[in-house]
Structure 1
């Protein structure tokens, strides 16, 4: 299964499920990223960290380590 870390710039993806446990998973959910949410990948920094995304009408920057825990629908 593909993760948000592997998504390309300009791509719109849908969240299949969240990996990880405890505080990390809760933090991702608090940002509004839940199952079925549409995410638009705006920019990826040259070294890949951070990833700038649009979620539910607002912009977020997340780390690669967080993006690895967001699994995408095929």
Structure 2
């Protein structure tokens, strides 16, 4: 499922990227969003950026980018 559809407070693991453009993939890697990484969705409203917790950091990403990041829920 795309990261953009994950609810507040859920933890997910990144499993794949859609449309793996080199510049987008490099940017995501540089900010810590890589395959196998577990992230928590702190805030995801219907519009606007999605706030994530990655390790001890918080990061906001656009909804369009979040639609290209495929994840699975952590139980």
TM-score range, shorter chain: 0.7 to 0.9
Q: Which residue of 2 aligns with 1:37?
A: 37
Structure 2 SS opposite 1:73: strand
Q: For structure 1, list consecutive stretches of 5 or more residues without a partner in the other structure.
A: none
- 1:62 matched residue in structure 2: 61
Specify the SS of the correspondent of 2:51: strand
CA distance in 1, matches of 2:18, 2:55: 20
Under a length normalisation based on structure 1, what TM-score does the superposition of the two structures give? 0.87
RMSD of aligned residue pairs (Cα, Å): 1.3
Residue equivalent to 1:11: 10
Once superposed, which parts of structure 1, at least 4 consecutive aligned residues long, lie more than 3 Å away?
none
Give the aligned length.
72
Cα deviation, 1:31-66, whole Å, max 9, x if unaligned, reads 101111011000123x42100000122000000011
